[in-house]
Amino acid sequence: MKAILPALQSLHPLMIQDSLKLLVLSGESLQLSLCKMLLNLLPQTSILNLYGSTEVTGDCTYFDCKRLPVILDNEVLGSVPIGLPILNCDVVLVGEDAPHHGEIIVGGLCVAAGYFQYPYLIPLGDVDLPPPVASSNQRKEQLYFRTGDFARKLPGGDLIFLGRKDRTVKLNGQRIALEEIESSLRDHPDVVDAAVICHVVEDISSLAAHLVTEKWDKDDEPLRSSLRSWLKSKLPQIMIPTRLLFTRSLPLTSSGKVDYVSLANSTYYDKQIRSNIEEISKDHLMQVVIKAFSDALMVGKVSVDDDFFEMGGNSISAAYVTFKLGIHMKLLYTFPTPRRLQMALSSSSSSQGTDANVGVDLRKLEGGILRSMESRIDNLYRSKPRGRLSGSDSNRDICIPAKQLKIESEMYADSKKESRRYSSWNVTEMHTKCSFARCNKGTHGGQCAGNNLFNTVWSNKMPRDVKGFMQEMWKVNLSSCVDASPLVVSKGSDVYLFIGSHSHKFVCIEVKSGVVQWETKLEGRIECSAAILDDFSQVVVGCYQGYIYFLHLLDGSVSWSFKTDGEVKSQPVVDKCRHLVWCGSYDHNLYAIDYKSYCCIYKIPCGGSIFGSPVIDEVKERLFVASTSGHVTSLSIKAMPFTKLWKQDLGAPVFGSLSINCSNGNIICCLVDGTVIALSTCGSIMWKARTDGPIFAGPCTSRALPSQVLICSRDGSMYSLEMETGILLWKHGIGNPITSSPYVDENSQLMSDVTNLSERLICVCDSSGTIYVFIVDSNAIEGSKQNMTPMVQEFARFDLQGDIFSSPVMIGGRIFVGCRDDHVYCIKINVE
């Protein structure tokens, strides 16, 4: 089925759905990931998972895979159930733990009489049934076949296949199916294949997992930690292997099966197990923690008492550390040094109320930990004391309309100097309305435009064969770090920028002059970008106190607000067709807020915190949202009540926003482990690509580069992937980590003697504070596929005085971006 799947995905899905009525799978354990792909690809097809053997005429149980989502809501499974007995088949479990766990024995019309002309074999019917099974079955004379397979019975009666008898072991008095562990390991996105064995050294039994991974590294300790956390969420502690060993390949028998005998006799494992019988030692764990700190901070040496945040750590690098260690981010904020974190991770996890992944009593931390997270970041990065709101009204705000702040740099050069520059910024006289947000997303004329911004509101033409440079036009002080990305809104000839900061300030700036039109102080720190309603009357933005505010465009006064149960870092998405604002929260929920009736009409749990923005497919009327649990959820939003269509587990957290390929509806999502995945509207994985570092921002797609998706990675490189296939078109490194999204200037054209209109300017900001502008030739893609020659040239760069985590917006040669030096900037591109 795995070999056929790519061909099915490349064909016309509608034709397959109409013609294929029944799909029967048998012979091997059906993995959850494969079953989910098939259910998404073939929603109209009946998919059956059958179990049996030659001795019981092929099959004796069946499971209708359409029931899988319901079971997964209540059970943690390692594979798809094998289901219930087929008509005229008796299937029972025998053994010490029967009838809930045991060996499968089969009776009934399906059982064969014996092997032809092999009289010396034991008759198939010679099975002594335990009294409880025999007494419950009125047909005591019936012959039963002992399959040698073990299964577990679910509360609803369905059986879960656990493995063969010779692949079932006892450890500390508990029976363990090694195949169940292997199945869980294979579901991890970094694992290609797995084989688990039970090893006995010096009378000590332990489990060892031999793993084939996408990138082979026998000493990849962060991946080991991630895999242990993965297994702890799926299996009991007794089933977690003591050792995780990485290998290039698994030994195979002549029939193509895994050679477990060779693995068991491996001298390499003997050396490993004798050096460390127990779980990772405390010293070893300390080295794992230090390496995670070092990788996240990009420093060569970390001592055991170095404070992660005092060394420059922030929420982005903290997310990377906690993902690599497989722990909750709250722990790093509470125990910020390697020594304290190692002690927390080594503490006992046996008491009630502890997190099984970390062994720390989270009940004692829950009360004030979110406040300590916020105050720690503010204390490290703010330059001035943060004001606090007074009064008990949670919606109370401070509005300073038309506040004329001092402009901190020269606005424009004199007319003579300006006349020598080509970088003019011409706003059309049309009375049009449009907005521009990170990743080239925006709206135009009150209509949803997705990634497709309409033709020139600003026009900018520059000569091609000259070197560019950047000039600061203005900057506005927002009293603390500006991590949010700007929202630029045009109403006729008026252009405004909306942005917030850690100081709780949210401001409206007149773009041409840099003058603050109004300033509002909200309840919490602001890290998310704002959005604007379709009638351009109100701006929507969230804050760390869980509020989603609706602010009047003209003066910033609060029209109304909605309170979630967690921080709001997700940029709201305006759904004009249904008069809704969709926004995610740290509380794991996605909310649909009706901005006409001033109420929340729908919310859905998504399994993890939602940091990125959802995306809407207006053609099929579907919404897609990702969470830090690694799940992507699809909703049908044709009419109320909205319904969940599917949920895809990608195996690693998603922190950035999703993007959509307008030509085919595929959803592009970036995982924190460096993977980029394209999902079909049915949830099938269409292609998968890898970068060399973590990804914390969303992908960028633009009508100016219609066949490319641009990705920035913390490895210091920008990647261009072919939109339809995920093939790497080019890669360009800048050296420093990048944690924001790029932006394509759709309103600037580079003019040359040959009038090549295919070249575009792309803005990228690295975390250390440098703004880059690159030239990309979209017509040179075919050549880059063959020789991988980078089709990117640096055009200009500009250094700011603080780190940049804000994603830039670039329009007609103007760059707008926030900085951790407490300012939001307008930077102009010039050429001599």
Rounded average pLDDT over 332-344: 84
For residue 731, what are the CA distances in angstroms to 132, 660, 690, 710, 770?
66, 22, 12, 10, 19
Mean pLDDT, range 647-666, rounded to an integer: 90
767 or 423: which carries more pLDDT confidence? 767
Question: Three-class SS string for 734-780?
Answer: CCCCCCCCCEEECCEEEECCCCCCCEEEEEEECCCCEEEEEEEEHHH
Band of pLDDT at residue 465, cut at 50, 70 and 90: low
Q: Which two tokens stand for residue 157?
A: 């009666």
Distance CA 78, CA 186 (A): 10
Instruction: Put the strands of the sheet holding 191-201 in their side by side order.
Output: 191-201, 204-213, 243-246
410: confidence class by pLDDT, cuts 50, 70, 90: very low
pLDDT score at 419: 33
CATH 2.130.10.10 assigned to 398-831 = yes
In which residue ranges of the chain is CATH 1.10.1200.10 found?
282-381
**769-780 tens-digit pLDDT:** 999 999 887 665
Mean pLDDT of 277-282: 44
pLDDT band at 202 (very low <50, low <70, confident <90, very high): very low
Range in 168-182, 358-372, 619-633, 657-671 the model is least confident about: 358-372
> What is the secondary structure of 208-242 as a DSSP string?
EEEEEESS--TT-HHHHHHHHHHHHTTS-GGGS-S
Q: Does domain 282-381 have CATH number 3.40.50.620?
A: no
* 634-648 average pLDDT score: 91
Q: What percent of the chain has pLDDT over 70?
A: 76
Identify the pLDDT of residue 426. 54
Q: Is residue 126 over pLDDT 90?
A: no
Report, as an integer, the average pLDDT of 486-491.
92
Per-residue pLDDT at 568 exceeds 50: yes
Question: What pLDDT score does 422 carry?
Answer: 40
Average pLDDT over the chain reads 78
CB proximity list for 309: less than 8 A, separation 6 or greater: 318, 336, 376, 377, 380
The highest-confidence range among 299-313, 541-555, 741-755, 788-802, by mean pLDDT, is 541-555
Contact 666, 13 (CB under 8 A): no
pLDDT at 510 over 90: yes
CATH number of the domain at 172-252+259-279, out of 3.10.20.90, 1.20.1050.10, 3.40.190.10, 3.30.300.30? Answer: 3.30.300.30
Determine the Cα–Cα distance for residues 713 and 717; give it in Å rounded to an integer: 6
Bigger pLDDT: 163 vs 399: 163
The fold adopted by the segment(s) 1-164 is: Rossmann fold (3.40.50)
- The DSSP bridge partners found for residue 555 are none
Give the per-residue pLDDT at 720: 93
Residue 222 has pLDDT above 50, yes or no: yes
Please list the residue range(s) of the chain that carry CATH number 3.30.300.30.
172-252+259-279
Reply yes or no on whether the pLDDT at 363 is more than 50: no
| pLDDT at position 196 over 60 | yes
> What pLDDT does 747 receive?
79
**Residues 440-449: what's their mean pLDDT?**
63
Cβ atoms of 489 and 532 within 8 Å: the answer is yes
Asked if residue 797 lies in contact with residue 496, where contact means CB atoms within 8 angstroms, the answer is no
Q: What is residue 667's predicted lDDT score, i.e. its pLDDT?
A: 95
Split at pLDDT 50, 70, 90, the class of 551 is very high
Query: Is the pLDDT score of 400 beyond 60?
Result: no
pLDDT band at 370 (very low <50, low <70, confident <90, very high): very low
- Per-residue model confidence (pLDDT) at position 424: 46
Query: Torsions phi, psi of 545, nearest 5?
Result: -85, 5
Q: Is the pLDDT of residue 430 over 60?
A: no
- Alpha carbon distance 544, 671 (integer Å): 23
Residue 806 CA to residue 741 CA, distance in Å, equals 8
Share of the chain above pLDDT 90, in %: 36
Q: Rounded distance, CA 66 to CA 70, Å?
A: 8
Q: Where in the chain is the domain with CATH 3.40.50.12780?
A: 1-164
Does the pTM of the predicted model rise above 0.75?
no
Q: Are 755 and 684 in contact (CB under 8 A)?
A: no
At 631, give phi and psi (nearest 5°): -95, 140
Q: What is the mean pLDDT of residues 109-128?
A: 61
Place of tokens 């690694």: 630
- Which run of H or of E encompasses 623? strand 622-626
Taking residues 465-477, what's their average pLDDT?
86
> pLDDT tens digits, residue range 77-110?
878 999 999 998 999 998 777 788 888 998 888 8
Give exposure, 261-284, as e/b (b: 16+ Cβ within 10 Å). Answer: eebeebeebeebbeeeeeebeeee
Range in 280-289, 674-683, 817-826 with the lowest mean pLDDT: 280-289
pLDDT digits (tens, 9 = 90+) for 292-326: 888 887 777 888 888 887 777 777 778 778 777 87
Give the best-scoring range by mean pLDDT among 279-288, 301-310, 488-497, 807-816: 807-816
Residue type, 165: K
> pLDDT band at residue 163, thresholds of 50, 70 and 90?
confident
34-60 mean pLDDT: 89
- pLDDT range class, residue 750, cuts 50, 70, 90: low
- pLDDT value at position 832? 67
Q: For residues 563-575, give the mean pLDDT.
A: 93
> Would you give the DSSP letter of residue 587?
T
Query: What are the tens digits of pLDDT across the range 703-712?
Result: 888 889 999 9
Max avg pLDDT among 464-478, 487-501, 737-751, 787-801: 487-501
pLDDT for residue 396 is more than 80: no
Sequence letter at residue 658: L
pLDDT value of residue 141: 59
